[in-house]
Structures are given as C-alpha cells and as structure tokens.
Amino acid sequence: MLRFAPSPTGDMHTGNLRAAIFNYILAKQKGEAFLLRIEDTDTSRNIEGKDKDIMFLLTLFGISWDNLVYQSNNFPRHRQLADYLISQGKAFYCYCTKEFLEAKREEAKKNKIAFRYQDSWALLQKDSHSNPVIRLKGSSEPMSFYDEIKGEVKFDCNEVDSFVIIKEDGIPTYNFACAVDDMLYDVDFIVRGEDHVSNTPKQILIHKGLNYAKKIQFAHLPIILNEEGKKMSKRDNASSVQWLLNEGFLPQAIANYLILIGNHTPCEVFTMQEAISWFDIKRIAKAPARFDIDKLRFLNREHFKRLNELDLAALLGYKDTSIGGLAKLYLQEASTLNELKTKIDRIFFNKTKLLEQEKEGEILELKEEFNTLHNTLLKLLESLDWQNTSYEEFKTKAMQESNLKGKRFFKPLRYLLTGFEHGPELNDLFLYLRNFLKDILRK
C-alpha cells in the first residue's frame, strides 16, 4: 500500500503535493491501494477544517484515495504497543524535565559536542517529576537503509539515541504514530520529502522493536528551491498550492510541473494520468530542484491549448464556445486564468467609461476619433449582418463611414473592440468578436 500523510496544521505546500502525486502514481502503477492518512497527533497545532481543505485540493488534482484514516483514532493502539515495548525491555519511562534536558543541551553546545541523550538520566528526577515520557532504546550499532533516489543511507550508532515515543500527555510522537500506522496498514513503499531522512532510522528501529519484519521501500524527495536558489519557505508565494491556484494556474499544469522538475521525462507536456505509463521514481535527481515560475507559465499555456473551447469558456465564467476560441488567441500574451479573464472581461467593459479611467497611452490623444468611430459602428450595427461579415468588409465599411485612416482609425478600433491598445491581430479576433458586437459597443 502507498500512502500520503499530511498534517492539518497549515496550508498544503508544493512539496506536499509533489509527494502526494508521486505516491498516487506509484499506487496506480503497482495496482495497490492508496491511503490518505491525516496525521493529527499534534493536537495543539491542528487547525479546524484543514483536513477538508487537503481533501478538496487532492480531489481537484484528480487524486482519489481508497482509505481515509485519522491518526488520532489509533491512539489506544499506539499506547498498547508502547506498553508492549516496555514489557519487552525495549522502551522505558524517562522522568527528565524539559529544564534538565535543556541544561544538558547547553552543556553539550558549550563543549562543542553533539547532544546525545544518556539512558542513565532516565530516573534521576523520578522523585520530583511524576509525569514521565516513554523512550525507545536507541541503536547500539550502525544503521542503514536503501533509498530509491539517494541510494544507501547510513547512520552511526551514536546518531540514533533513545528517543521519545509517548509524550507526557500520553499522545504518541510523530515518529511512533507514523511507524505504527505504516505497520498497521501494511504500507510497503514510502515516498516523502528529504527532511524525513533523519526520521527513517527511528521508524525502522520502532518496527524492529515490534518484531515487524516487512520490507519497506523508501524514496526521499529532494527539496524544492526558490528562484534565488534557497530552500522554499512560507515567504515564497509559489510554495503555496492555493496561491498558485488563486493566481490562475491550472491543476493539470501544476501537476505536470511538479512531476517534470528534477526528473527525466519522455516529453515536457503531459497529464498525471499519462505519466502513470512511464513514471520512474529512480529517475528523480538527487539534487534539489529550483522552482521556475516561467516554466510553469509555459506549461499552463500548453494545458490551456489542450482544453476544448467550451471548457475554457466555462473556466472564464462564460457559456459561449466562441469565448473559449477568443481566449486561446490571447495565449500569445497571457498565461494564467486570471490574465486571460482580464483580457476577456475588458472586451465587454463600457469603453467610454474605460477611456475616462485611462492615465496614459496614445488612445488619450485620439478621443475625438474614438467618439467618431464609436458612433459610426453603432449606426452600422443596424445595417449590416455582422455574423456573416468578414473583417475586411467590416474594416472597409467602417473606414468609409467614419472618414478615418491609419493610426487614427486602427487605434480607436482596437480599443473599442478589446479595451486595449495592443493585442492579437484584429483580423483573427474579429471572427469571434462579431458575434458579440452589440454587447461590446454598447454605450
């Protein structure tokens, strides 16, 4: 079984989504079930409703799950297994206070050595501290595991000291709940961010303590860097999946990009469903991938081109297929849904009012020509069959009736038809615009 295990403590970021996509693809390739596990053990940081947000986003990206689990529902099982480890002498109660441990950390820092917990400290404060944690005994020998991306990963014996598995409040730690639930639900392949590499030996040690011998594959994904080459953080807008969606990037384009970066793919533009046929986790580069918003813009345009015109029109809030065709012409200069919507919506703005709001541009010097041409076109609306009129016929007739030529004709004409001074060729636009001229030219 494959799993995606987000915590409901904040918005989903692109690294999370990338892991979800890869796990989903692998589950489909292997014909195995896909588990969505909400890791809500950090009760103080859980945000109400974030679990629903996670599910909504996954669904939006075409990721479905076979099983849904809330980790907190397994608390009794976690405690039962912790008690078992104590009974086997593999775990023990530790009465050290936070203040005691902090003093030991400062001492190690002062002596310029790595802090390591000593099992001999466990009972030192038993008489004064009645609320212990439970710790699993650390490894007395070197540990290693094979990573499908990184290869062999090794840890010295002193790197994995005895660690907490049940906190003072009785709630399991992340590592313990994660390892136990992977065991309970028969997870056999774990794909997650490389920030979890240091957690892996602890989780392996938990499995060994519980006599769980099932072979689990691991793949730790390199971090995503921002455009400056630094680790992405919440300060980087593009780290938020919701921000990308709000900006008007299509889910299919975002998924395409997250599969593409740091990967060797047979083509640049594809859907997640298409990637299932060729995706290979071993081809992911070991080095961090840098987020390139311009590349995402390119992919977004390509996925807009793949949409049929009716679907594109619907995304823009219109019902007419012609609007979808019109929008595709604007892909020459727009790459997000927001940019396209600005272009299309402006076509239907009242141009007289729009011109009054302009602060700069050549069109301001052509107000008289604008008004002359506007009145001319309104009159022509009554006499011409616009839906069967070519652009050349329209242009010739409008020039004759307005007595305008050159820039004095074309600048106001473009502004009247589109609300912009520049844009795609009017000859191409007119094929679609002629269907809406009464709405476009209204006063």
Q: What is the CA radius of gyration of the chain?
A: 31
pLDDT for the residue numbered 443? 66
pLDDT for the residue numbered 188? 97
Higher model confidence: residue 158 or residue 372? 372
Higher model confidence: residue 43 or residue 145? 145
Q: What are phi and psi of 148, to 5 degrees?
A: -65, -20
According to the annotation, is 230 in a ligand binding site?
no
| Lowest-pLDDT choice from 59-73, 92-106, 225-239 | 225-239
Single-letter residue type at 389: T
**What digits encode the pLDDT tens for the residues 254-310?**
999 999 999 999 999 999 999 999 999 999 999 999 999 999 999 999 999 999 999
Q: Which residues does 348 contact at the CB level (< 8 Å), separation at least 6?
A: 436, 439, 440
**What digits encode the pLDDT tens for the residues 4-45?**
999 999 999 999 999 999 999 999 999 999 999 999 998 889
In this structure, what token pair is assigned to residue 356? 């009054």
* Residue closest to 355 by CA, chosen among 425, 420, 405, 408: 420
SS3 state of residue 99: helix
**What digits encode the pLDDT tens for the residues 80-118?**
999 999 999 999 999 999 999 999 999 999 999 999 999
What is the rounded distance in angstroms from the CA atom of residue 323 to the CA atom of residue 319?
8
What is the rounded distance in angstroms from the CA atom of residue 80 to the CA atom of residue 71?
15
* Residue closest to 206 by CA, chosen among 172, 237, 233: 172
pLDDT for the residue numbered 381? 87
Single-letter residue type at 341: K
| Res 124 pLDDT > 80 | yes
**Three-state SS letters, 294-363:** HHHHHHHHHHHHHCCHHHHHHHCCCCCHHHHHHHHHHHHCCCCHHHHHHHHHHHCCCHHHHHHHCCCCHH
- The 10 Å Cβ neighbour count of residue 231 is 13
List, in sequence order, every residue forming a beta bridge with 67; answer none if it has no partner.
35
| Res 132 pLDDT > 90 | yes
Work out the average pLDDT over 331-336: 96
Fold of 349-441: Arc Repressor Mutant, subunit A (1.10.10)
What is the rounded distance in angstroms from the CA atom of residue 400 to the CA atom of residue 409?
11
pLDDT for the residue numbered 153? 97
pLDDT for the residue numbered 197? 97
What is the rounded distance in angstroms from the CA atom of residue 412 to the CA atom of residue 362?
10
What is the rounded distance in angstroms from the CA atom of residue 18 to the CA atom of residue 13?
9
Does residue 352 contact residue 374 with C-beta atoms inside 8 Å?
yes
Count of all residues that appear for the chain in the document: 443
Q: Mean pLDDT in the chain? A: 95
pLDDT for the residue numbered 233? 83
Q: What is residue 288's DSSP assignment?
A: P
Tokens 């009242």 correspond to 350
- The side-by-side arrangement of strands in the sheet containing 163-166 is 91-94, 133-136, 163-166
Alpha helices in 213-285 (DSSP H): 241-247, 251-260, 272-275
* Residue closest to 417 by CA, chosen among 377, 380, 366, 382: 377
What DSSP string describes 380-407?
Answer: HHHHS-GGG--HHHHHHHHHHHHT--HH
Q: What are phi and psi of 221, to 5 degrees?
A: -80, 135
* Residue closest to 180 by CA, chosen among 85, 36, 67, 77: 77
List, in sequence order, every residue forming a beta bridge with 191; answer none if it has no partner.
219
**What digits encode the pLDDT tens for the residues 162-197?**
999 999 999 999 999 999 999 999 999 999 999 999
| Res 386 pLDDT > 80 | no
